[in-house]
Amino acid sequence: MSKAGTGLLNEALVSAVVNRWRDGGVAVVYLETGNADRMLTEAVEEWAAKESAVFWQHRMETGYLNWLGIPSEGWTAEGIRGQVTEQLRRTISFGRASGQNRAVNVATAFSAGVALTRPSTPPEKAEAHLIRRIREAMLRGIRGLGKENKESSVPDIRARAIAGNGYIIGLLANAVPQFEHHAKVSEVASFFDHNPNAQGVVIVKERKPLGVIMRDRLYQQLAGQFGHALYASRPVELVMDRDPLIVDEQTPLERVSQLAMSRDDSRLYDIVVTVNEGVVRGAATIRDILECMTALRTEEARRANPLTGLPGNSGIEAELSRLIAIGDPFAVVYADLDYFKWFNDCFGFARGDELIRYLADLLVGEFDASGSRRFFVGHIGGDDFIGVVEPEFAESICERLIRSFDLGVRRFYGGTEVTAVENRQGQRIEQDGVSLSLSLLYCEGNDGMKLEDISVCAARLKKRAKSMKGSVYVASEWKNSQPREK
């Protein structure tokens, strides 16, 4: 597609969107194709090439992200979704009628999710705004595929990877050219000659990566006095880099960034290969990784609670909405300090802030040490926190949090022996200081739960936990559209 730009989120895309805001609006359209065959992906690319409104397209692991210029008024997300869906289905049907044998079910082959951007957004806030719209479109597309195609399942990569906290490399990587290990060096050189934008290729054996060849390095080898004669007819495995950076597609983007930047200077800008069960799935460039990391950190900083640096309410809502939309089981842990007002009154607000930061660090540390592949910790405000984790790790996290908190909180009393506290009504209660109340809610996933249901159930559990003396956790589960004590 020569007329459209590419890339998930970079300076050129942000500039292109801002420029189009001067004349109208911009919609981001995510087309979720699941595990579709090659014919469907070709149809999507054919539609984008013919559709004049498309000015940017990025191919993702199981779908396409498209950016469309639209008039500033009279358009809704649902209207655009309907139009794009109809256009794409006509493209697929035309291909079938033309004898291309596209073996796809036109009615259930894909799902579209649409989000509208706001032309009134200041340019300096455009990047963060576009990240939110990408998330919105992707979530809608994934939900749609689950409804329209009951036989397909949302890929596991999506369940753990939709932007924000825990963004993984598989969502950023693009398709990468591959050559078998016995291919000739001249074949790779010819490929680079005819594809000037290709930075590197992956050398494989039975679809598993053996190494990479970068354009500049290969040209340097062939440019010598006898380089071409020496290497051109030899197998590529003789000249490939045998120690490239290869990561599982579920690896967090931040971890990949650290690994990539720790390489020696000669390999610093080599592509990063992503795999699934050892099989090549794609590759990402250092530029894409760093641009995405910058954008994500900008967004995280904007959303973070200023005291702890943890995601605030908007980030929490986005994470819970994502999990509900995906439909996989998860557990929610609400954490709240008891008698925190008494502590502030006795020891001052500065030490109160220290105690809140201590609890934040403790939560992150225990969730991180749990062994769960994915977790999330957010700061609701004041002394209220929330953690989300895979269900099998939740109870042990609560137990460790209580033990660790009761031991660690003592140092905040400055050597004072505490035997009693006061509640908010000024009543004296025999207790050895601040305690921790945890509300643990197990969510089955796709069972009719809504975002507000989590808050209501957590408030009920929180009231029970606070009625008990000392640091405790109270657990319940949401099942069959109603909470049930566990």
Which class would CATH give 178-291?
alpha beta
Residue 159's pLDDT is what?
33
Domain 305-485 has CATH 3.90.960.10: no
CA–CA gap between residue 72 and residue 200 (Å, rounded): 40
Q: Which two tokens stand for residue 43?
A: 């149809």
Most confident of 81-95, 159-173, 181-195: 181-195
Q: Which residue has the tokens 């960034």?
A: 257
Lowest mean pLDDT: which of 75-79, 101-105, 232-236, 428-432? 101-105
User: Are 124 and 76 a contacting pair, CB within 8 Å?
Assistant: no
pLDDT (mean) for 248-272: 86
If DSSP codes are grouped into helix, strand and coil, which group holds residue 284?
A: strand
The secondary structure of 17-59 as a DSSP string is: HHHHHTTSEEEEEEEE-TT--HHHHHHHHHHHHH-TTEEEEEE
Report the C-alpha gap between 95 and 38 in whole angstroms: 13
pLDDT at 76: 85
Output phi, psi for 62, to 5 deg: -130, 35
Q: For 329, list phi and psi in degrees, rounded to 5.
A: -65, 145
Please give the full DSSP string across 412-451, using - where no structure is assigned.
GGTTPPP-EEE-TT--EEE-SS-EEEEEEEEE-STTT--H
What is the per-residue burial (b if ≥16 Cβ within 10 Å, else e) of 449-459?
A: beeebbbebbe
Among 20-24, 108-112, 147-151, 377-381, the least confident range: 147-151
What Å distances lie between residue 323 and 125, 139, 214, 319, 328, CA to CA? 26, 10, 39, 6, 7
Q: What is the pLDDT of residue 242?
A: 94
Among 294, 302, 469, 312, residue whose Cα is nearest residue 382: 312
d(CA 481, CA 458): 15
Please state at what angle helix 253-261 crosses helix 286-303, rounded to 10 degrees.
130
Q: What mean pLDDT comes out for the span 215-222? A: 90
> Which residues sit opposite 63 in a β-bridge?
32, 60
* Each residue's pLDDT tens digit, 91-136: 876 664 344 444 445 445 678 889 888 888 888 778 777 877 887 7
Q: Evaluate whether 11 touches 55 at the Cβ level (below 8 Å).
A: no
**What's the pLDDT score for residue 142?**
61
Mean pLDDT of the chain, nearest integer = 81
Pick 193 or 264 by higher pLDDT: 193
Q: Do 405 and 432 form a contact (C-beta atoms < 8 A)?
A: no
Over residues 176-204, the mean pLDDT reads: 93
User: Domain 11-153, what fold?
Assistant: Alpha-Beta Plaits (3.30.70)
Distance separating alpha carbons of residues 16 and 53, to the nearest angstrom: 13
Going by pLDDT thresholds of 50, 70 and 90, the confidence category of residue 74 is confident
Task: Say which residues have a Cβ less than 8 Å from residue 216's Cβ, sequence separation at least 6.
Answer: none
pLDDT for position 164: 36
Q: Above 50 in pLDDT, residue 151?
A: no
Is the model's pLDDT at 299 over the cut of 70? Answer: no
Radius of gyration of the chain (CA): 26
Distance (Å, rounded) from C-alpha 1 to C-alpha 21? Answer: 23
Residue type, 52: S
Q: Is 305-485 the same fold as 178-291?
A: no
Every domain of the chain and the residues it spans: 11-153, 178-291, 305-485
| pLDDT at residue 34 tops 80 | no
> Encoding tokens for residue 312?
């605030």
Q: What is the structure's pLDDT at 102?
A: 42
pLDDT for res 177: 93
Tokens found for residue 193: 């000659």
The string of DSSP codes covering 230-262 is HHTTSBGGGTSBSS--EEETTSBHHHHHHHHHT
